[in-house]
Amino acid sequence: MATRKIAVIIGSLRKESFNRRVAKTLMLLAPTQLDMEIIEIGQLAMYNQDDDDSPPPTYTEFRERIRAVDGVLFCTPEYNRSVPAVLKNAIDVGSRPYGASAWNGKPCAVISASPGASGAFGANHHLRQSLVFLNMPAMPQPEAYISNIGKLYSGDDLTEDSTKQFLQNFIDSFATWVERHAD
C-alpha cells in the first residue's frame, strides 16, 4: 500500500498539552502506511488579508507544507465552546489567497480532548463547519470526543487500555478514509 503523508495540526500551544499527547499517541499507533508529522502553527502571525500580496515567509512555508500532504489530522481542545484562536488562524492562513486554498480536497479527521465531561464536542463540531467550506472530506465515524483526559495519561503515557483501543480503531479508520480519498 502506498505511503500517505499526514499533517498533524494541534490546536494548543501549551507545553503540557493533552491534545499534543493524544496526537503523539496516535502517531505511535498509526499503521505504517501513514507518514505522520506535526506541523506547528504557533509561529503564524494573526492573519491579515492586506498581506495576501506579500505574505510572511512563515505563511508561505506553512501553505507549502500543507499542500504537500495527502491528509490532515486535527487534534484540538475547546476554548469557550469553540475552536482555539490559534487553530482558526492556521485554518485561515492555509485557506488564502482566495482560490488557492492549501486545504482543498484533503481528507481529514478531527479528534478533540478535554479534562471536562464533554470531550470538547463544541470545538470538534465548530471545526467541522469550516471543513465543509474548505472542501475537506472529514471522517464521520468514529466520532472522537475524549473526556476526562487528565485522568487518562501519566506523563506522556496513555494508561487507559480502553482509550488506547479506541484510538487504535480511530487511526486505523483514518488510514482507510485517507486511502478512499487518495488521488
Ligand X SMILES: Cc1cc2nc3c(=O)[nH]c(=O)nc-3n(C[C@H](O)[C@H](O)[C@H](O)COP(=O)(O)O)c2cc1C
Point out which residues bind ligand X (CB under 6 A).
12, 14, 17-19, 77-81, 114-116, 118, 120
- Nearer to ligand X by C-beta: 83 or 136? 83
Q: What angle do CA 10, 172, 170 make, to 5 degrees?
A: 55
- Nearer to ligand X by C-beta: 76 or 101? 76
CB of 79 to ligand X, least distance (A): 4
CB of 74 to ligand X, least distance (A): 12
- Nearer to ligand X by C-beta: 115 or 137? 115
Q: How far is CA 60 from CA 75, 150, 171, in A?
A: 23, 36, 29
- Nearer to ligand X by C-beta: 55 or 122? 122
CB of 38 to ligand X, least distance (A): 13
The CA distance from 66 to 153, in Å, is: 30
Please say whether the dihedral angle defined by the alpha carbons of residues 113, 114, 119 and 120, taken in this order, is positive or negative. negative
Cell 495527502 -> residue: 70
Q: Using CB atoms, what's the residue nearest to ligand X?
A: 77
The CA distance from 134 to 91, in Å, is: 9
CB of 93 to ligand X, least distance (A): 20
